[in-house]
Structures are given as structure tokens and as C-alpha cells.
Amino acid sequence: MCAAMAAINGIVGTSIAVGKEYSGWIYWKDGACSYTEPERGGADHSTANPVPKPPDGSDIIGVYHTHGKKDKHYKNEVFSDMDKDIFDRRNQKLYVGTPGAVVKKYSPIKGKCRGGVVETIGQIGIVGVQK
């Protein structure tokens, strides 16, 4: 689970309130798992290369992101095909916080396009809105 729950817990309230996606990195450094501050994206996308970057010498685990508010035009509770394609290519984990307050993890399997393992790793409490 690493720092993904904490990272998503801290931003998902804002993501839902403003209807934008956010993303940031999950990484290991000096024996500890950590995350970068979230970068704001758009209503239906966020960058797969968020800024700030993890510090030099980090082992990158993957990226966390949120899916903004509930919208009937989007499948916000699941990883999109684009989500899977990008992280299959990189062979990194992708975490998502959904408007339904669930955190899911996508773990690519080499050679299996969009066939990685999806797990629900936790439920989040929606806390205050960060400016």
C-alpha cells in the first residue's frame, strides 16, 4: 500500500470539490515510502509525469491520481484504458482515488496489455478541501 493511501487521502476531497484530477509520484528513498505533492490536471485527465519530481536517488514505484467528481460521462470508479496503457508501458504501479472514496491499485503484468492486477486497497475518508 505504501504512501498511496496518505497521498490520495490528502487530495481526494479537493479533487471532488473542484472536479479536477490530481497526480503525484510514489517512491522509495532511504528505506521509506513517500509521495510528492499533487499536481492539478483537468476534468478528465492528469499528467503521468507530475511535477514536482521525486528527489534524486529515489526508486520510483509509480504514480497516484484522482478521478475528480462523479460524472455520468466518465467511468470514474475504474482505471481507464489510457491509465493502463501508460503504466503497462512503463511497468510501474498506478493508484487511483475515485469519487466513490475507494483507492485502487493497478499492477501491470509484463506482456499482458491492460491485463494487470486491479486491487481495492482501501476506503478513504473525505476530509477538508485544500486550496
Place of cell 529515489: 58
Distance in Å, CB of 33 to Zn ion, minimum: 21
Contacts of the segment 51-56: beta carbons below 8 A, 24+ positions apart: 53/25, 54/25, 54/27, 54/29, 55/27, 55/29
Q: CB-wise, 80 or 130, nearer to Zn ion?
A: 80
Interface residues toward Zn ion, by CB under 5 A: 80, 83
Query: What is the closest distance, in whole angstroms, from the C-beta atom of residue 75 to Zn ion in the complex?
Result: 9
The least distance separating Zn ion from the CB of residue 112, rounded to whole angstroms, comes to 19
Between 29 and 60, whose beta carbon lies closer to Zn ion? 60
Task: Compare residues 3 and 8 and give the one whose CB is closer to Zn ion.
Answer: 8
Q: DSSP 3-state assignment of 12?
A: helix
Q: Specify whether the backbone of 111 is left (phi greater than 0), alpha (psi in -120 to 50) or beta.
A: left
Which residue of this chain has its Cβ atom nearest to Zn ion in the complex? 83
To the nearest whole angstrom, how small is the minimum distance from the Cβ of residue 79 to Zn ion? 6
Integer Cα distance of 78 and 97 in angstroms: 9
Grid cell for residue 39: 499536481
CB of 53 or CB of 75, closer to Zn ion: 75
C-beta of 109 vs 118, nearer to Zn ion: 118
Q: What is the nearest approach in angstroms of Zn ion to the Cβ of residue 51?
A: 18
Cis, bond preceding 52 (omega within 30 deg of 0):
yes
